[in-house]
Amino acid sequence: MSVRVRFAPSPTGYLHIGGARTALYNYLYAKALGGTFILRIEDTDIERSNAEYEKLQIDDLKWLGITHDEGPDKPNPKYAPYRQSERSAIYQKYADQLIEKDLAYYDFCTEEELEVMKARAEAEGRDPVYEGKWKDPANKVEALERVKAGEKPAIRFRAPKKSYTLKDKVKGDVTYPANMVGDFVIVRSNGLPVYNYCCVIDDMLMEISHVIRGEDHLNNTVRQLMIYEALNAKLPEFAHVSLLIGSDRQKLSKRHGATSVNLYRNENYLPEAMCNYLTLLGWSHPSETDIFSKSDLFSIFSLERFSGHAAMYDLEKLKWVNGQHLKKMENEDIIKMLSGMPEATGFNQQDPAWKNTAVTLLKQYADFVSDIPKKAEEMIFGEHIEMKNELMEILGWETTPKIIDYLHGEMNKITTPFVTEAELTSWMDFAKKDLAIKGKPLFQGIRAALTGQEHGPDLKLLIPLTPVSIIKKRLSLLSKTKQEKDG
């Protein structure tokens, strides 16, 4: 059986984190099984659907690298069109067949009549189910005449009064009791078909083999099972993936922070990191690793590793995952990204060799590409020295002023804007041999003198990146502080 999966967004807003996760699971499943990943646009809710949202959602999917094999822009003539708004004739054709077989019926009840039915059921403590006259096949002749005369009724599906059991790949057996749902509308009186109906017709005609979607659709599934049965269509496999929740264990919503993909995109999150983190929300890697790229999963993704429990969306973990991906990125790609960022103007003005070394060093301290110029300001270009106790202690050692004086003298000889690693090594050697300073006083003294910090990265990387003018200012400031302290 060939694997055909689909992501079927409604273009009524931006691409949501949960939607992106569903798209990703379908995409990965298609990749893992050599199947086809289809993008279908579910735009039957004409009031809320908007072509602009369709475009933005596709754009975000593209940014995430979740590319479809078939869709409105890549039609396979056997299955096209891929927008539900362009498939009305198809839905009508199947609705006519269902009516013909008395599996559905025309319903001329007005809103008011339906309200009365509902109120009566409520008063009697029953679930509100349809019990209008049109349910009775005896009224079919009258119904057909009224349709012929130009009236526009709704089309209602006759829900069988029996229980259904869904064999879900994630949830296991899900049993829906008989009479859980009453007869339901599949085509509204304005001619627009409803989601549960279109979804089945499309999944059937598009030969979808696996429906992987959010657990919030489990309640819809019983209606869909009924329609499959009425159409005598083969059921796809279903996998309903667990809900996304916030730290308060409530369904993930805007209250918990940014829930649309475009906001993360604007904040410089890496698409590979987003995909990595989204995959982990409800699925686990067979070797329990947390960091991977999409393509690492192509050979191992399976429906067996889904968790049945709700997945907690944790922004801190996402940031950490982003940092891990940043550290694995090529410097060249990071530099390219920074070149388009206004906040990196200072960074971008440096020469290519400087940028390369700076990225090697600074990405170790960053979670986001945009952290790199900030870290450069802080760790390389910072002139201010915070006179913390630990630093004052180092300044108080008798060896430190000797190091400061010596380095000051050396710096004054330098005519280039930066020192080299070789110069730094020669100063270390001099302090060790000629000034006879060793161990902690040597290493901490030199670090404090050149950086104004007690801790930090490897000096061999950091110092050749720091402008001589800044190192000189730090040395002067430290001498002054020491003199003031000594009074």
Report the interface residues with ligand GLU, using CB under 6 A.
8-10, 42, 199, 213, 217
> C-beta of 16: minimal distance to ligand GLU in Å?
9
- Which residues have C-beta within 8 Å of that of residue 364, sequence separation ≥ 6? 327, 457
**Rounded-to-integer distance, Cα 111 and Cα 119, Å:** 12
User: 30, 3 in Cβ contact below 8 A?
Assistant: yes
Q: What are phi and psi of 416, to 5 degrees?
A: -90, 160
* Tokens found for residue 94: 């199947």
Angle at the Cα of 222 from the Cα atoms of 235 and 190, rounded to 5 degrees: 100
Across 383-410, b (16+ Cβ under 10 Å) vs e yields eebeeeeebeebbebebbbbbbebbbeb
208/394 with CB nearer ligand GLU: 208
140/217 with CB nearer ligand GLU: 217
Question: Residue 254 catalytic?
Answer: yes
33/199 with CB nearer ligand GLU: 199
- Which residues have C-beta within 8 Å of that of residue 92, sequence separation ≥ 6? 187
Q: What are phi and psi of 450, to 5 degrees?
A: -85, -30
> C-beta of 131: minimal distance to ligand GLU in Å?
29
> C-beta of 55: minimal distance to ligand GLU in Å?
16
- Of 78, 148, 254, 433, which one is the catalytic site residue? 254
Q: What are phi and psi of 311, to 5 degrees?
A: -105, 130
> C-beta of 10: minimal distance to ligand GLU in Å?
4
132/214 with CB nearer ligand GLU: 214
> C-beta of 451: minimal distance to ligand GLU in Å?
54
10/36 with CB nearer ligand GLU: 10
- Which residues have C-beta within 8 Å of that of residue 437, sequence separation ≥ 6? 399, 402, 403, 431, 445
Residues belonging to the active site: 254
